[in-house]
Amino acid sequence: MAERLDRERIVRRALDLLDEVGLDGLTLRRLAGDLGVQVAALYWHVPSKAALLDEMATTMLRDLIDAAGPEMRDLVGEPWQDCVRVSADRFRAALLGRRDGARVFSGTYVTDERLRGWVELPLSILVDAGFAEGDASRAWSTLLAFVVGFVVEEQGRPDRDDDADVRFAFGVDVVVRGLESRLAADAV
């Protein structure tokens, strides 16, 4: 009996195929062939490649939250800088965990409304530290944009950069120091 085709199966197979062929090699036609169905069958579940990428990014984020959730909750009461650094490290690791993971995530939309709340904990930590809500949101967006951009560059290099961890930590530190400076200036 053929395995039932559903969105979860499509997205999981697309992520596996991504690891095998990369984003440029991932097409709906190839995915359909890999699943043993006609392309039209995929359109019932994902109407376009952009929609598929949204679903793939959402699944990557869901997997990250499932894996890092307890560790993030342990940061409540710790310095906000630790939350920023740990979040950056975990997000980078999740993006690096998939071939072209950062490219998949870049420019996509989270399709699971429950996951939009994944930023509530870090935002509350930043607000508790004294950031205004709008500044906390912008700070978080800036951090995520840095991580995605860094990993896009990192994954785009044919040779592994032995200095990548040092450069990444430096960049995150620049973000943290900038936020510290911003927080201090707002407190005056």
pLDDT tier for residue 79 given thresholds of 50, 70 and 90:
very high
Give the residue among 130, 127, 105 at the shortest CA–CA distance from 115: 105
**CA–CA distance, 23 with 49 (Å, rounded to integer):** 11
CA distances from 166 to 1, 74, 86, 173 (A): 51, 25, 15, 10
Predicted local distance difference test score (pLDDT) of residue 1 = 44
Angle between helices 80-96 and 164-187 (to 10 degrees): 150
CB 105 within 8 A of CB 57: yes
3-state helix, strand, coil in the chain (%, to 5): 75, 0, 25
Maximum mean pLDDT: which of 12-16, 64-68, 182-186: 12-16
- What does the pLDDT average to over 106-133? 83
**Predicted local confidence at residue 117, as pLDDT:** 62
Distance, in Å, from the CA atom of 113 to the CA atom of 73, rounded to the nearest integer, reads 20
Q: What CA–CA distance (Å, rounded) separates 71 from 175?
A: 21
Which tokens is 61 given? Answer: 């984020």
pTM of structure: 0.90
Q: What's the mean per-residue pLDDT of the chain? A: 90
The least confident of 68-77, 81-90, 143-152 is 68-77
Q: CA-based angle 13:16:19, to the nearest 5? A: 150
Tokens of 30: 């190839």
Print burial letters for 90-122: b (CB count within 10 Å at least 16), e (below 16): bbbebbeebbbbbbbbbebebbeeebeebbebb
